[in-house]
Amino acid sequence: MKFLRSFLDKHKPAFEKGGKYSALHSLFAGVTFLYVPDRVTRSGCAIRDAVDLKRMMSVVVLALVPALLFGMYNVGYQHFLATGGEPGFWSLFLHGFWRVLPMIVVSYVVGLGIEFTAAQLRGHEINEGFLVSGLLIPMVMPVTAPLWMVGLSTAFAVIIGKEIFGGTGMNIWNPALLARAFFFFSYPSRVSGDKVWVDGLADGVSRATPLAEAYQGTPFTHDLGTMFWGLIPGSIGETSAFCILLGAVLLLVTGVASWKIMLAVFIGGAGTALLLQHALPDANPYSHVTVARHLLAGGFAFGAVFMATDPVTAAQTAAGKWIYGLLVGIVAIVIRVLNPGYPEGMMLAILLMNTFAPLIDWCVVQRNVARRLKRGKIPA
């Protein structure tokens, strides 16, 4: 390690102002991924909390790992379920691994490439802003998504969703969901229907997700237990409620994600699902979809845990978090049940509430201002 450090120290001046490679200064800043810089406090607090954005983001990445690994396994499982054959655990997993890995690589290469270029053009330092998004993007895609579409969606999300607003911390919409929304509206046949969720499906065969079954009113193939453990068709990372729960536990124990938002999304979703289940006439297929089925199906749990809680795009005041989370849950179920167009509503619900989060916060801030004006005068 000494060698690495002295190598870096030796070449550092070349990347600084006036140095030979000063044009690539933003790239050298990437060294901070290897070493926490030796920078010390000058003014203000002499000591600083050990946490930084890299630490926070690496916790989220760690929380995604169970869902990701299971997603890889499930890709293999669904593939062999559809095509026949009874390979062992490792064959299933490796099949999925080799299907998913290229998507992850494409997402990171395209996303980081654009971020580096943007940092370079602006004279900023590169940062860790894409660490989480880069992994989330493939996890919310169907495994059959062509790599170039993954790349294009990523590019759209990073450029239009993030960089034009000023980069990390400035974006209005969750970049990963924006990538999926771009994909969804640009190539609808590749991200909906019964043929896209399982890799290597033969012509004429289809595999419906639980949400599609609810939408079409066909009998349910999967019981709640299977849905909880996650051996169902769906986007790569979203199927296993159990693995998402593991991630949620890590996010909540470390305090990286807001428990208020997470809880509020589930309360909003469960309440709306319960209401609609009983309010709808018997002829409506959704009157047979229970609360548990709603929460376990599709991207609800994944969205609630990993997407709605994105601190940049969610509401930021304490009261705002409750309102925002409740509305995400409510809108997601409303889109699923009452909108004739889409069987799934989580993505659109979160993006919609991302749009309204600043308004929610504005209202909370105004209430704070009004309350502070009304406070009592000094006792005589």
Count CB-CB contacts under 10 A for residue 316. Answer: 17
CA 111 to chain centre: 15
Near another protein by CB under 8 A, which window of 114-122, 138-146, 282-290, 369-377? Answer: 369-377
Tell me whether residue 93 or residue 322 sits nearer to another protein (CB atom): 322
Choices 45-53, 134-142, 207-215, 272-280 (CB under 8 A): range interacting with another protein: 45-53
| Total chain residues near another protein (CB under 8 A) | 60
Selected from 78, 107, 127, 154, the binder of another protein by CB under 8 A is 127
How far apart CA 235 and CA 72 sit, in angstroms, is 11
379 lies in the binding site for another protein (CB under 8 A): yes
Closest to another protein by CB, 341 vs 379, is 379
Binding track, positions 244-263, relative to another protein; x by CB under 8 A? ---------xxxx-x-----
Alpha carbon distance 264, 314 (integer Å): 12
Burial (CB count <10 Å: 0-12, 13-18, 19+), residue 318: exposed
CB proximity list for 313: less than 8 A, separation 6 or greater:
171, 172, 173, 174, 354, 357
Please state the closest distance from residue 259 (CB atom) to another protein, in A. 10
Contact status: 359 vs another protein (CB under 8 A): no
For another protein, which is the closer residue by CB, 18 or 379? 379
Least distance CB 280 / another protein (angstroms) = 37
State which residue, 38 or 86, has the beta carbon closest to another protein: 38
Which C-beta is closer to another protein: that of 60 or that of 100? 60
The C-alpha atoms of residue 274 and residue 291 are separated, in whole angstroms, by 6
93: tokens are: 């997993």
Q: Which of residues 26, 78, 277, 317 is near another protein by CB under 8 A? A: 317
Region of 27-35, 220-228, 238-246, 280-288 interacting with another protein (CB under 8 A): 27-35
Integer Cα distance of 254 and 232 in angstroms: 30
Rounded Cα distance, 56 and 290, in Å: 36
Q: Within positions 210 to 239, which residues make up the interface with another protein, using CB under 8 A?
A: none
Region of 77-85, 101-109, 110-118, 168-176 interacting with another protein (CB under 8 A): 168-176
**Tokens representing 324?**
């925002």
CA 328 to chain centre: 14
What's 198's DSSP letter? S
377 near another protein (CB under 8 A): yes
167 binds another protein (CB under 8 A): yes
Find out whether 65 and 139 touch, Cβ atoms under 8 Å: no
When asked if residue 41 is in the footprint of another protein (CB under 8 A), the reply is: yes
Token digits of residue 49:
């909390």
**Taking CB under 8 A as the rule, does residue 38 contact another protein?**
yes
Among 170, 205, 249, 338, binds another protein (CB under 8 A): 170
* Residue 75 Cβ vs another protein, minimum distance, rounded to whole Å: 28
- Closest CB 314 distance from another protein, rounded Å: 7
Task: Please report whether residue 3 would count as binding another protein according to CB under 8 A.
Answer: no
Q: Please provide the DSSP assignment of 276-319 as one string.
A: HHHHS-TTSGGGG--HHHHHHSTTHHHIIIIITT-TTTS--SHH
Q: Where do the H-state alpha helices sit in 187-258?
A: 210-216, 224-229, 241-253
User: Residue for token digits 């064959």?
Assistant: 91
Which token pair is 285? Answer: 């297929």
Decide if residue 316 touches another protein (CB under 8 A). yes
Residues 61-120 that bind another protein (CB under 8 A): none
- Cβ atoms within 10 A of the Cβ of 47, count? 6
Q: Are the C-beta atoms of 320 and 364 separated by less than 8 Å?
A: yes
Choose the binding region for another protein from 42-50, 99-107, 133-141, 150-158 (rule: CB under 8 A): 42-50
Q: Which residues bind another protein (CB under 8 A)?
A: 1, 4-5, 32, 34-56, 58-59, 125, 127, 166-170, 253-256, 258, 311-312, 314, 316-318, 321, 365, 368-369, 371-373, 375-380
